[in-house]
Structure 1
């Protein structure tokens, strides 16, 4: 039997569970290794990918209003911080902020971003936290009881199911010292605009999607040939979401450590969902988790929104 090297047992366990299920799927968090994070940063600058520039526009225009939700001397906690590009817009309006706590699963990417921010904002304590925001967060002891505002830009909430989103909002609501939650959400709009945003002409999103197969090969004993899978973006009206899939071109069998995974021609792996909201559907989810929408800001075309939540 072929015993392949496994460096990431958690990835192997979740990949095996998802790829032996019907239909096949992989958790989207595994898209974001160092290369995946870098590719996503490229995606945010593509002409088809409107969410980033639209959200930046909203934040730029309303940062002084949002700053009122961050306690003086408190902590701004960013979930899935990435390059922290949008955070700078808020930080420029927060001269009395005590601490910035960026949370991300990609340790090297997080450290590089945190070091850059620490140089730019010398008066703020920047403490990176390597963690998966879908789990409970162990804050550094010195920041445990500090007043906090959570910051979750980029419409990442949409990557979660309704139950997962409610669970995340509930966990954040239970953080010690939590006072507010500033969150970015993508809104329902015409389907063609949505599809194009997740299937760009340059193929960067396709490379980002296939990168999860490279990661499984490298860390979880996989034998995927990524070129045998096509990237596909689909709109699901039933779930109000864009879905990213990797579709097998051919009948094939792939090794995953000691497990064999068979694919039919046209069979897909569902790798990511991006739910699109209305103000009403957001309100329903946040209320179930103990929050209320205190401020709801959109761009002129109502393509994207930034909401400020308060604990109920």
Structure 2
């Protein structure tokens, strides 16, 4: 059973208002930068699904291994009957493993890419015909009102794939707090969160994962420029942008950029911009964590870690946390 809901604010032309505002703000600043979530329109989401199957891209295989082998742990610690609220459209591989393990009472995927959201929800509905599914088209970076049907249920937030690493720490902590509010931590429901966090490792392994030999990640990155051109009346010369992925050791993150191979001028939503040769638009971060930094971030976001699992090669972690009760400072 699938019932959908859309909470995305659009203008008279059907354009996501937040997308326009973020892109224009990011192109005006120096250095230029845009939030990573705008990489994931329907085309970007499909390209990312392709990325997850690449030889160089280890996170999906590592996380899937954990979900596949630790089902009994999840069932014991999480228990049955919770509404699983997934922040992002459900993975065709990972999400069914979790749903099969814990016997949920409902499933609520939240995603801003509406068509991809509905497709993934429909596919999961075929695999779990008795499970109530309520896809919500929304920006999960903000507090979201869940469907009335799931409000009486306890909640489990599911945030796989180390998407939390796409954000700078301040934004990541804000998101964790927003998730806490969305899941109803302040109304006594004691929600849980199962979250993926990628681990610090060899630089060559990390850079290869974000700059694959087939160039799929490059197309995923350049798709942002195509989206801007399509939705915001842009004239960005996509062929003059090359994909760059590099490890920033100071901030423990892989950075993705679109770099101009020549001086270019273009228009977006009627506003003129230029880039010098070699100048970049910073499109994504992928922060990597240690146990200490992961737990510190969760604590700052209002979550208490309960259990941490790693894959057999020690490349990736899944952490189960519970909303921290509000207490007066000592």
TM over 0.5: yes
The answer to whether structure 1 residue 21 and structure 2 residue 33 are counterparts is no
Say whether residues 1:192 and 2:204 are aligned partners: yes
Unaligned runs of 5+ in 1: none
1:102 Cα deviation from its structure 2 partner: 1.0
How far the C-alpha of 1:82 sits from its partner, in A, is: 4.1
Partner residue of 2:295 out of 283, 299, 310 = 283
Does 2:85 correspond to 1:77? yes
The answer on whether the counterparts of 2:246 and 2:254 sit within 8 Å (CA) in structure 1 is yes
Residue 259 (structure 2) aligned to one of 212, 236, 247: 247
Aligned to 1:227: 239
Shift of 1:74: 2.0
Deviations 1:73-95 (A, max 9, x none): 22011111243420101111133
Alpha-carbon RMSD across the aligned residues, in angstroms, is 1.5
The structural deviation recorded for 1:103 is 1.0
* Alpha-carbon offset, residue 178 of structure 1: 4.3
Report what 2:53 is aligned to: 45
Tell me how far apart the structure 1 counterparts of residues 131 and 190 of structure 2 sit (CA, whole Å). 19
- Tell me which residue corresponds to 1:304: 316
Identify the residue that residue 154 of structure 1 maps to in structure 2: 161
- When structure 1 is superposed on structure 2, of 195-204 and 160-169 the one drifting more is 160-169
Q: Is the 8 A contact 1:11 1:216 kept in 2?
A: no
Corresponding residue for residue 7 of structure 2: none
The Cα of 1:11 is off from its aligned counterpart by 2.2
- Which moves more between the two structures, 8-17 or 134-143? 8-17
1:257, distance to aligned residue in structure 2 (A): 2.1
Quick check: 1:65 aligned with 2:73? yes
Partner of 2:226: 214
Aligned pair 1:273/2:280, yes or no? no
**Cα deviation, residue 12, structure 1:** 2.3
* 1:170 matched residue in structure 2: 177
Q: Which has the higher contact order (CA 8 A, sep 6+)?
A: 1
Give ranges in structure 2 of 5+ residues lacking alignment. Answer: 1-11, 325-330
Structure 1 residue 241: Cα displacement: 0.4
Report the counterpart of residue 100 of structure 1 in structure 2: 107
- Residue 6 of structure 1 and its aligned partner are, at CA, apart by 6.3
Alpha-carbon distance between aligned partners in 1 of 2:281 and 2:28, rounded to the nearest angstrom: 11
Q: TM-score, normalised by structure 1?
A: 0.95
Q: Given that residues 111 and 128 in structure 1 are in contact (C-alpha distance below 8 angstroms), is that contact kept between their aligned partners in structure 2?
A: yes
Report if the CA contact (8 A) 2:90-2:121 is conserved. Answer: no
Instruction: Report the number of matched residues.
Output: 307
| Deviation (angstroms), 1:68 | 2.9
TM (norm. structure 2) is 0.90
Q: How big is each residue's C-alpha offset from its partner over 1:196-219, in whole Å with a ceiling of 9 and x where there is no partner?
A: 000000000000000000000000
SS of 1:126's partner is: coil
1:36 equivalent among 28, 37, 44: 44
Equivalent residues of 1:246, 1:268 under 8 A apart? yes
Which sits farther off after the overlay, 31-40 or 140-149? Answer: 140-149
The answer as to whether partners of 2:190 and 2:322 remain within 8 angstroms in 1 is no
Is 1:120 matched with 2:127? yes
Report if the CA contact (8 A) 1:37-1:82 is conserved.
Answer: no
